[in-house]
Amino acid sequence: MTSVLVVDDVHASYGRFDVLRGVSLRVASGELVAVLGPNGAGKSTLLKTIAGFLAPRQGSITLDGEAIGGLRPPALLRKGIAYVMQRSSLFPKMTIQENLELGAYVRETTDEVRTDIERVLALFPRLAERRRQRAEGLSGGERRMLEIGRGLLLRPRLLLLDEPTMGLAPLVMDLIFDKILEVRATGTTVVMVEQNARRALEVSDRAYVLEQGQTRVEGRGEELLRSEAVRRAYLGSGTAGR
């Protein structure tokens, strides 16, 4: 399989402080890849760097073989990278419909976009019922669905999700993971950062574990679930890890 995304030895920093200190990963077309690791490992920073909110100080990022490191978010969107940030990023005073329309901002407004909006609403029926209501009235899980749906309106080559289940109740979390699997099933390549390592490993094809800004472990989801080292460090079973 060809790689959609290749991150090679990327270093990135806020000010003088290096957060990423040599991260490498590859994502194949159609894969669902999880990025795990303790707090402060640089997971979110990695997604921000791929999405263009932070420029790599060193190393390269390629999308379908084309170097994209250092490009700004609007340029990356046009190349097909959609990014759902960790914090809530909806426009609360705008309707669900309007939020979705803005997801397709860089596309020409055509019937194709309108069809895509219907498709996203079909994927998230709870949003369809409330499309004329303001986003501020949605529950935490519904907000996440709207954010993911808004990302899909780009018809992305690569969908980046930063902690899509953060702060959600377990049942809602399951629902979000199901939806992410549905999205992957439509052929969208997904990279997600997750705190909930066990569930993330269960649903993903492959995973990377970051620690102190570097890639430490890489493997298939079920392999890592069985790996003693990973269990101890990140899954909270066995002796208490960090």
- Is residue 166 within the footprint of another protein (CB under 8 A)? no
Please give the single-letter amino acid code of residue 155.
Answer: R
Are the CB atoms for 206 and 33 separated by under 8 Å? yes
- Is residue 55 within the footprint of another protein (CB under 8 A)? no
Are the CB atoms for 83 and 160 separated by under 8 Å? yes
DSSP letter, residue 238: S
Are the CB atoms for 199 and 81 separated by under 8 Å? no
CB of 186 to another protein, least distance (A): 20
Sole window of 19-27, 100-108, 124-132, 176-184 interacting with another protein (rule: CB under 8 A): 100-108
- Is residue 137 within the footprint of another protein (CB under 8 A)? no
- Is residue 89 within the footprint of another protein (CB under 8 A)? yes
**Among 33, 34, 54, 77, contact with another protein (rule: CB under 8 A):** 77
Sole window of 14-22, 89-97, 170-178, 230-238 interacting with another protein (rule: CB under 8 A): 89-97
Report the C-alpha gap between 199 and 15 in whole angstroms. 34
Report the C-alpha gap between 52 and 78 in whole angstroms. 12
Contact set with another protein (CB under 8 A): 51, 53, 73-74, 77-78, 83, 85, 89-94, 98, 101-103, 105-106, 109, 150
